[in-house]
Amino acid sequence: MSSHANPELDRLLVSPAMMVDPYPVYRRLRAEAPILWSDEWQAWVVSRYDDVAASLKDKENLSNENRQALLFNHLSDAERATLAPLRHYFAQKDVIGSDPPDHTRLRALVQKAFTPKTVASLEPRIRGLAADMLGEAVKLGRFDFVTEVAHPLPVILIAEMLGAPAKDRPLFKRWSSDILGFQGTGKTTFELAMVSQKSLVEMFDYMNALIDQRRAVPQDDVITALALAEESGRGFTRDELLATCNTLLTAGHETTTNLIGSLVHLLLSTGDSWKTLQAEPALIDSAIEEALRFEAPKQRNFRRIKKTHVFQGVELSENQMIFQLIGSANRDPDRFANPDAFDLRRAKNDHLSFGYGIHFCLGAPLARMEARVVLETLLGLAPGCRLVENGFKWQERVQFRGPGELWIEA
């Protein structure tokens, strides 16, 4: 077995099969090349649970700072110059793209806007949104759950939290999708990066104006809380604040949309799961955790190797990239019994879908609440709902996994 290169597996990483069902590829990676060098991704790829967890947690050898810079290495000087705004942004530090001690300060600032009390106070609004959206959808008889609920609810919520007017909400989804579009492997194309840059510049112009408004006239929203937050006498720089707004926008709904969609799909398509949940609603929290494990909303994470070191017998060189396959780790049989079964009663479920270590997702309690409220509302309004035949397809996103369409008959 080689821990370095496997051309056949490497080709599979960029095959259409990865969009539809990546798990057979993951299974082979864990067995044949748990630490793989990918020429296709220009990165190391780690697939076993223990190795993924260790590399997510490693602060000494791996870094989140300026990790996207590696994606532009193969572009021409002229292309890199044209992409200067995008490269400048991703060189900035935010709560995800930073290491200690900056990360410690930035996370403390963001936590001031996401206290348990703040998150709990959002539940009535989430319930109202879920009731309105599902109430209208159920009247249609047949509806696409992604279009009607899973996509708009998290977008509306994060837009409201940031203080954006309702008319601007469609911009948020487009910006988020575009900005993340060039990521997911260890290299990008100039064309994809240009799309990301255009939306990033638009979003920053918008957020700059919103930040200025809130500093002049504070409101009860996250933008105001972030703009005025201080930790040990220091607040955000403008670049840090803009980077944090982008992180909240992209992370604030992409993962949640995928979680809600996959959760409902799994419950309606797996045996008697839906009937079991109706009979035992106390299993809702367990169902959410199992959906997070079974279909990780974000399938992979990546970090920059900041110093050469040996990991599991393999030398990893400075300024190479390493991908942690969260979707693979969550299906590792060495960690989870019967990992390819969706089990509502799984007793121990220490999945990695919200990360691990100092970068554990700050928004995890909010995402879980959104999923719980939507599921409770669907159980109440459409207890007899079922999947429409041939009404499901996966979205085609490189690093995210969730339904692109999910047609339900109420």
Q: Are 294 and 342 in contact (CB under 8 A)?
A: yes
Entry pTM: 0.93
Using one digit for the tens of pLDDT, what is the confidence trace for 353-372?
A: 999 999 999 999 999 999 99
Q: Find residue 46's DSSP bridge partners.
A: 35, 324
Q: 167 pLDDT band (50/70/90 cuts)?
A: confident
Using one digit for the tens of pLDDT, what is the confidence trace for 213-238?
A: 988 999 888 888 888 886 667 888 88
Using one digit for the tens of pLDDT, what is the confidence trace for 94-143?
A: 888 899 999 999 898 888 878 888 889 999 999 999 999 999 999 999 99
Instruction: Give the C-alpha separation, 56 to 47, whole Å.
Output: 12
- pLDDT at site 26: 98
Higher pLDDT, 47 or 91: 47
In 90-174, the DSSP E strands lie at: 142-144
Higher pLDDT, 270 or 89: 270
Using one digit for the tens of pLDDT, what is the confidence trace for 276-295?
A: 999 999 999 999 999 999 99
- pLDDT at site 253: 81
Q: What percent of the chain has pLDDT over 70?
A: 98
Ranked by mean pLDDT, which of 160-164, 168-172, 261-265 comes out on top?
261-265
How many C-beta neighbours within 10 Å does residue 225 have?
21
Higher pLDDT, 261 or 235: 261
Q: CB-based contacts of 114: which residues, under 8 Å, 6+ apart?
A: 222, 362, 363, 366
Residue 3: pLDDT over 60: no
Tokens of 24: 């057979």
Residue 1: pLDDT over 50: no
